[in-house]
Chain A
């Protein structure tokens, strides 16, 4: 039986310039196709699918790269997840991004899905959204009107710095981690591959002697959008990690700070309880990795 997708106009620019020119003049509502692994699923659920133009940017190979620059790593928005898994620069400088890739979808999906698509699709449990939040990444949007740089937090967390019509996400820049910082990423799901997670957590921890100098924690899958747990981070700062009871008391406030969703994979109450458990595990893992 044929799969019936909704009808749409299809446009496949060959260069970034061509893509931006098209986006500037297109009048109808459009969706951008990057890797397609989320978009095609959405199109198969026709009732939820409003756009009537598809702009396929998957041929823009100029947006597929990982580069090391002064003090930061630049990743092209169309870099495939499999590219991140195998990139020497990523493995060396931002191993957490390669770790996430290893647990991301399946080989087939990793060959299609892109980091930009994962972040722009706006899923609550988008693995790379969490990573960008704790790495303090910046997103670069480009349109014919010019470039706009947005802190990942404002794009992912607040949702009020959304992509504007005519814009494409072209690059993600990530400042290099302090050499002593430890990062961790945990995903809690019913099945190990290709499933919707109950929740996911990313954590970055930097110590000065045994005191917490800086800490960033992002929680996904729990609320509508992934978010940083800033009140928790603030209270953790300057605590001595040897005083684990004190640290734990701060983490125990997490269930009261979040507003979880109920869904097919887990109830709100379960997510609330597990948020504490998994943030604690992630923090301990990041601690182990602090040098």
Chain B
């Protein structure tokens, strides 16, 4: 069974026909080439596939593509505007908030959502928000520093 869906992807209205048994993760990667969305555990534990749906970070591996119908989906590709890095991305780059890099888009999109909701999070709040993102290189301290820097950059609006 296939279904035609309409949704907003990174600010643009879009539509497509998807098999009902396809995950949102697979649709974003294969039909729209949103390859920032990574398939890690494919079971909701690692957070590498995190995208923002209607302003909330969710695991795209646990949502069906057809469920995106009528929704607003944001991937890391939509966070970057006009080839210019978002302050959260710059913060991760400058603080070396990444090692092998596969978990990085998930961490950045979750951070983006956190900073939007809470521009000046405490370390405890950062840890809590990021508990659903795993870094198997275990580079957590630089990641947390990156989030704190991102908070600074965003509140200074630079």
Contact = CB atoms under 8 A, between A and B. Distances in A.
Nearest to A111: B56
A190 interface: no
A33 B67 CA distance: 10
Contacts of B50: 108
Given A8-B21, A40-B62, A107-B57, A3 B26 contact: yes
Contacts of A108: 44, 47, 50, 57-59, 110, 132
A41 B43 contact: yes
A56 interface: yes
A108 B59 CA distance: 6
A5 B21 contact: yes
B4 interface: no
A105 interface: yes
Interface residues of A, number: 34
Interface in A72-131: 82, 102, 105-109, 111-112
A131 to B, nearest CB: 21
B131 interface: yes
A40 B21 CA distance: 10
A180 interface: no
A107 B131 contact: yes
A8 B129 CA distance: 34
Contacts of A9: 1, 20
A108 B60 CA distance: 9
A193 interface: yes
A107 B126 CA distance: 11
B20 A54 contact: yes
B25 interface: yes
B67 A56 contact: yes
B132 A40 contact: no
B61 A3 contact: yes
Given A10-B3, A107-B110, A82 B20 contact: no
B42 A112 contact: no
Given A3-B26, A36-B67, A40-B64, A107 B42 contact: no
A130 B47 CA distance: 27
Interface string A45-66: 0000000001010110000000
Contacts of B98: none
Contacts of B130: 107
Contact of B42 (A7, A44, A56, A82): A44
A2 interface: yes
A202 B23 CA distance: 35
A5 B25 CA distance: 13
B94 interface: no
Contacts of B44: 37, 40-41, 105-106, 108-109, 194
B42 A5 contact: no
7 contacts: A6-B21, A7-B20, A12-B66, A40-B64, A43-B21, A106-B47, A111-B58
Given A36-B63, A41-B62, 11 more contacts: A2-B30, A5-B22, A5-B23, A10-B66, A56-B67, A106-B44, A106-B45, A107-B57, A108-B59, A109-B59, A112-B59
Interface of B: 1, 3, 20-23, 25-26, 30, 39, 42-45, 47, 50, 56-59, 61-64, 66-67, 69-70, 110, 128-133
The 3 closest A-B pairs by CB, nearest first: A106-B132, A10-B20, A5-B21
